[in-house]
């Protein structure tokens, strides 16, 4: 038997088959029966030198606080545990999105790889494979979505990378991996989403056409206050003070389908900065008052069929409105107004663009929209910035022109003549 131990190298010995094996003490671990056991990590190689070198590397990692003997989970197994651990901490729609990204995209390509052995090259190959599957929208492809492999875009691939990074961050905190290899792979380049906000004249035409629709007040709110679709559908009358002219955003209505369950309408609380109280423009306040009168008439007409949900915007019998229904209602208003076809979300962009172009401070606009940082607002609406810069220069010119004129007409000192 060869020399059994070197300095700081654990134990190394030669096996009967001619190979060499070394062992490093890892510490106490709990087995499947829940009993603590002293555990050692073994390394096997063709030569004593190879085993010795690997053991030195592992000992260095161990001294740096790196877990050299993580649990032997595959990427797929870990993703399942990670999703289960965050299920109660994230919104249902967010969980559904993460679960779909893991099940449909990440696991099929990376799932069989041991988590501790996942490399930068593996993640790079994953990114390139997904980018190769990016297709142009065509027949049968309704929208960009991580839930359908046919609907991927560069933006979807970036989202998959974000989910993988979050999962590996959790693995890093649990000492299951030595580093987050997904953070060492650059995100794919994503082109900025083209916005189609209405001009002031188009916005006025839209508001005029909306008055003829029973849900016109909803779209007027979206345009004037930048409300999201779910925020408007989740509004209840106690959240609106018609006397003071204020509206409080405290919840949003969404249709969510959890894995293995039927889809359902759920009310959720928005993020902290998305919970906000807004002042209603007079034109919108009058529309809400008219909308409430119309709803009272519908309540009388429905009689015993009326569902007292308390929502501001309801069906003709008081029930909650399906988010998907708003698309057809919105199209009807756009058609009546003879305006370009845009997305409902572009009403939110219209609100921000109109306010910024009229000189409203970006911080105020950010609070109105419920953005967490003013930088988000400025990045999203950078197309307005050049106009604001020009306006700022004109205002500065107006402020300084009298002074400049006075200076120009004042006689120069004799020493300068």
pLDDT of residue 409: 58
d(CA 380, CA 352): 9
Give all domains of the chain, ordered by start, each with its CATH number.
11-63 (no CATH), 75-184 (1.10.150.130), 200-385 (1.10.443.10)
pLDDT tens, residue by residue, 82-121: 999 998 888 888 898 999 999 999 999 999 999 988 999 9
pLDDT of residue 33: 62
Closest CA to 57 of 178, 168, 173: 178
Question: In the predicted model, what is the mean pLDDT of residues 52-59?
Answer: 85
d(CA 5, CA 106): 43
Rounded CA Rg of the chain? 31
Sheet order of strands, 20-30 included: 11-14, 20-30, 36-45
d(CA 327, CA 50): 66
Going through 3-60 in order, the beta strands assigned E by DSSP cover: 11-14, 20-30, 36-45
Interhelix angle 92-101/75-86, nearest 10 degrees:
180
Name the one residue in this structure whose structure tokens are 């029966």: 33
What's the DSSP call for residue 7? T
**Within its chain, how far is the Cα of 116 from the centroid?**
28
pLDDT of residue 407: 54
Phi, psi of 233 (to 5 degrees): -70, -25
Token pair, residue 397, equals 């010119």
d(CA 271, CA 279): 20
Instruction: Using the predicted structure, report yes or no on whether residue 144 has a pLDDT greater than 50.
Output: no
Q: Provide the 3-class DSSP secondary structure of residue 268.
A: strand
pLDDT band at 215; cut points 50, 70, 90: very high
pLDDT band at 151; cut points 50, 70, 90: low
Instruction: Using the predicted structure, report yes or no on whether residue 411 has a pLDDT greater than 90.
Output: no
pLDDT of residue 69: 63
pLDDT tens, residue by residue, 297-307: 999 999 999 99
Question: In the predicted model, what is the mean pLDDT of residues 385-395?
Answer: 70
DSSP class per residue in 198-265? PPHHHHHHHHHHHTTSTTHHHHHHHHHH---HHHHHT-BGGGEETTTTEEEE--EEEEE--TTS--EE
**Within its chain, how far is the Cα of 345 from the centroid?**
15
pLDDT of residue 106: 95
Question: In the predicted model, what is the mean pLDDT of residues 337-357?
Answer: 89
Token pair, residue 333, equals 């208003």
Q: Which residues contact 233 (CB under 8 A, 6 or more apart)?
A: 218, 252, 253, 311, 313, 320, 321, 323, 326
Instruction: Using the predicted structure, report yes or no on whether residue 49 has a pLDDT greater than 50.
Output: yes
Instruction: Using the predicted structure, report yes or no on whether residue 58 has a pLDDT greater than 70.
Output: yes
**Within its chain, how far is the Cα of 314 from the centroid?**
28
pLDDT of residue 400: 79
CA atoms within 13 A on the CB side of 91: 16
Instruction: Using the predicted structure, report yes or no on whether residue 138 has a pLDDT greater than 50.
Output: no
Whole-number average pLDDT of the chain? 83
Phi, psi of 19 (to 5 degrees): -80, 165
pLDDT tens, residue by residue, 234-291: 999 999 999 999 999 999 998 887 777 788 888 888 777 788 999 999 999 999 999 9
Which of the residue ranges 60-64, 188-192, 364-368 would you say has the lowest mean pLDDT? 60-64
d(CA 410, CA 403): 11
Cα distances from 328 to residues 139, 214, 324, 334, in angstroms, run 21, 13, 8, 10
Type and span of the H or E element at 330: helix 326-337
């Amino acid at each position: 038997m060869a020399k059994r131990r070197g300095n700081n190298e654990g134990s190394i010995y030669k096996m009967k088959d001619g190979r060499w094996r070394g062992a490093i003490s890892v510490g106490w671990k709990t087995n499947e029966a829940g009993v603590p056991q002293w555990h050692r990590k073994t390394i096997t190689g063709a030569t004593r030198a190879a085993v010795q070198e690997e053991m030195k590397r592992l000992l260095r990692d161990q001294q740096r606080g790196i877990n050299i003997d993580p649990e032997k989970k595959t990427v797929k197994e870990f993703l399942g545990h990670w999703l289960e651990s965050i299920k109660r901490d994230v919104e249902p729609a967010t969980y559904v999105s993460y679960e779909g990204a893991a099940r449909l995209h990440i696991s099929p390509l990376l799932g069989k790889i041991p988590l501790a052995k996942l490399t930068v090259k593996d993640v790079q190959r994953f990114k390139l494979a997904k980018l190769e599957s990016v297709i142009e929208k065509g027949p049968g492809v309704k929208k960009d979505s991580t839930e359908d492999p046919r609907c991927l875009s560069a933006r979807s691939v970036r989202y998959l990378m974000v989910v993988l990074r979050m999962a590996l961050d959790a693995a890093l905190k649990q000492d299951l991996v030595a580093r987050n290899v997904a953070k060492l792979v650059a995100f794919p380049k994503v082109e900025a989403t083209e916005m189609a906000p209405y001009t002031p004249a188009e916005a006025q035409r839209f508001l005029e056409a909306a008055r003829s629709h029973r849900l016109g007040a909803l779209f007027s709110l979206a345009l004037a206050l930048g409300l999201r679709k779910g925020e408007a559908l989740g509004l209840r009358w106690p959240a609106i003070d018609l006397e003071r002219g204020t509206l409080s955003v405290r919840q949003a209505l969404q249709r969510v389908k959890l894995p293995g369950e039927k889809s359902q309408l759920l009310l959720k609380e928005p993020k902290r900065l998305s919970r906000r109280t807004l002042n209603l423009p007079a034109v919108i306040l009058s529309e809400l008052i008219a909308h409430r009168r119309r709803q009272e008439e519908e309540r009388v007409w429905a009689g015993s069929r009326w569902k007292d949900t308390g929502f501001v915007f309801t069906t003709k019998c008081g029930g909650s409105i399906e988010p998907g229904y708003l698309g057809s209602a919105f199209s009807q208003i756009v058609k009546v107004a003879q305006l370009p076809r845009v997305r409902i979300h572009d009403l939110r962009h219209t609100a921000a663009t109109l306010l910024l172009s009229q000189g409203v401070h970006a911080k105020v606009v950010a609070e109105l929209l419920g953005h967490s940082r003013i930088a988000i607002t400025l990045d999203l609406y950078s197309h307005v910035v050049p106009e604001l810069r020009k306006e700022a220069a004109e205002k500065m010119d107006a402020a300084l022109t009298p002074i400049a004129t006075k200076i120009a007409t004042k006689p120069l000192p004799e020493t300068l003549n």
